[in-house]
Amino acid sequence: MKSRFLLSGLAVAAALACAFALPVNAADISPEALMSGGMVGMLVNKENIGNVFISLKTTFNNAFAAAPSVWQKIAMRVPSTTGQNDYAWLSNFPKMRKWIGEKQVKSLEAAKYTLVNDDFEATVEVDRNDIEDDTLGIYAPQAEMAGWSAKQMPDEGILEVVNLGFTTPCYDGQYFFDTDHTVAGASVSNKGTKVLSIATFAAAQASYGAYRTAMKKFKDDEGRPLNVTPNVLLVGPALEDTANALMTNDKLEDGKPNPYKNTATVVVDARISSDTAWFLLDTTKPVKPFVFQDRKSPVFVEQTDAQSDDVFNRKKFKFGAEARAAFGFGFWQLAFGSDGTVA
């Protein structure tokens, strides 16, 4: 499946524009100089622009490294070296068995699940007059914001996949969260409708407790337990208080002991689009519920040749960011999703 990635045009534009207001010697640029701006014009030449780009790239990389991200808590990174990756192996995951006689070779199912890498870009133009007039110093903080935004790219993609889980097929051809996955000829569900509740023991048991138990009982195609261990409760802001209470309170609202305290780590993200949906995940294994397929991490690119057609005819330099990636579903048995529509 495909996702969309868009670095904030304002953030990238501001960050790149900021570069042209910096001093000539990149090694002498301090954070204070970056933040203050106020230079007295500059000569637009290859050396100056080259030094500016070095400084901008350093600022971007530092912000990128320091920025928070959430995708690592719920997804696995799969390096990609081609245009797409095939995940047919998910359909028949091998498990160690006692070796008696010949080896039993696991063969891949005919159906395929392929993630095609998308190209992502954000490109901006900077007018040469603005460089000469040195009017872009106020954009120094945006250089850091551009790095922060780039770090969010996998988060945006993975959370979009989570939101689409009720209506998008995974490797077995069923919706990722569905009531009728087929395992060894039997129908297995990893989709519910119960509201996440702490009102009473019965309500908590019928929602969180029931789905947690269902996950623990998941088996492979040979009828052996997968030993699924739910450890992450993923919710949007509307369910943050309920989720935290369920994981930390000694008692439920009816006064009965809370048997689910500390059974999972709460992960809250505003990019969960539903106010009622909640998700229980197992991220303890090498394979994860969701996939971040990383072909090329976000990098800055530049068009700074003063003799280029854009500069000669239109007085425009270009900087931008590029990336290649895809986002999709991993092993559905490691996730249970509820749309939260039934009390």
Give one DSSP letter per residue of 231-264, joined into a string. Answer: -EEEE-GGGHHHHHHHHH-SB-TTS-B-TTTTSS
- Residue 15 is predicted with a pLDDT of 40
Q: Which two tokens stand for residue 194?
A: 């119960």
**Across residues 21-49, what is the average pLDDT?**
52
> Higher-confidence residue: 122 or 180?
180
**How big is the CA angle at 119 (ends 113 and 124), to the nearest 5 degrees?**
160
**Across residues 248-258, what is the average pLDDT?**
97
Highest-pLDDT range among 96-110, 238-252, 309-323: 238-252
- Residue 315 is predicted with a pLDDT of 82
In the three-class reduction of DSSP (H, G, I as helix; E, B as strand; rest coil), residue 265 is classed as strand
Give the chain's end-to-end CA distance (angstroms, integer): 32
- Residue 124 is predicted with a pLDDT of 63
**Across residues 122-127, what is the average pLDDT?**
67
Q: Is the pLDDT of residue 96 over 60?
A: no
Considering the chain, what is the average pLDDT of its residues?
Answer: 81
Give the strand order in the sheet containing 316-329: 75-79, 290-303, 316-329, 118-127
Q: Is the pLDDT of residue 148 over 80?
A: yes
Q: Residue 192: what residue type?
A: G
Condensed to tens digits (0 to 9), the pLDDT of residues 44-57 reads 677 766 666 677 77
**Across residues 273-291, what is the average pLDDT?**
96
pLDDT grade, residue 93 (50/70/90)?
low
Condensed to tens digits (0 to 9), the pLDDT of residues 166-212 reads 999 999 999 999 999 999 889 999 999 999 999 999 999 999 999 99
Q: Give the separation between CA 208 and CA 195, rounded to whole angstroms.
A: 9
- Residue 238 is predicted with a pLDDT of 98
- Residue 136 is predicted with a pLDDT of 52
**224 CA to centre of own chain:** 32
**Across residues 214-228, what is the average pLDDT?**
91
* H/E run at residue 59: helix 46-66
Q: Give the separation between CA 89 and CA 221, rounded to whole angstroms.
A: 13
Q: Which two tokens stand for residue 278?
A: 């909640």
Nearest in space to 288 (alpha carbons), one of 70, 116, 33: 70
Contact status, residue 163 vs residue 329, Cβ threshold 8 Å: no
Contact status, residue 275 vs residue 236, Cβ threshold 8 Å: yes
Q: Is the pLDDT of residue 117 over 90?
A: yes
* H/E run at residue 214: helix 210-216
> Higher-confidence residue: 310 or 123?
310
pLDDT grade, residue 102 (50/70/90)?
low
- Residue 71 is predicted with a pLDDT of 96
**Across residues 105-130, what is the average pLDDT?**
68
Nearest in space to 249 (alpha carbons), one of 214, 297, 197: 197
- Residue 12 is predicted with a pLDDT of 40
Which range is least confidently modeled, 38-52, 72-86, 97-111? 97-111
**Across residues 236-257, what is the average pLDDT?**
98
% of the chain residues with pLDDT over 70:
73
pLDDT grade, residue 155 (50/70/90)?
very high
Condensed to tens digits (0 to 9), the pLDDT of residues 289-338 reads 999 999 998 887 777 687 888 888 888 877 767 889 999 999 999 999 99
**Across residues 79-106, what is the average pLDDT?**
69
Place of tokens 């250089």: 143
- Residue 254 is predicted with a pLDDT of 97
208-215 long-range contacts, CB within 8 A, separation 24+: 208/233, 208/246, 208/260, 208/280, 209/259, 209/260, 211/280, 211/336, 211/338, 212/260, 212/263, 212/280, 212/336, 214/189, 214/190, 214/336, 215/190, 215/280, 215/282, 215/333, 215/334, 215/336
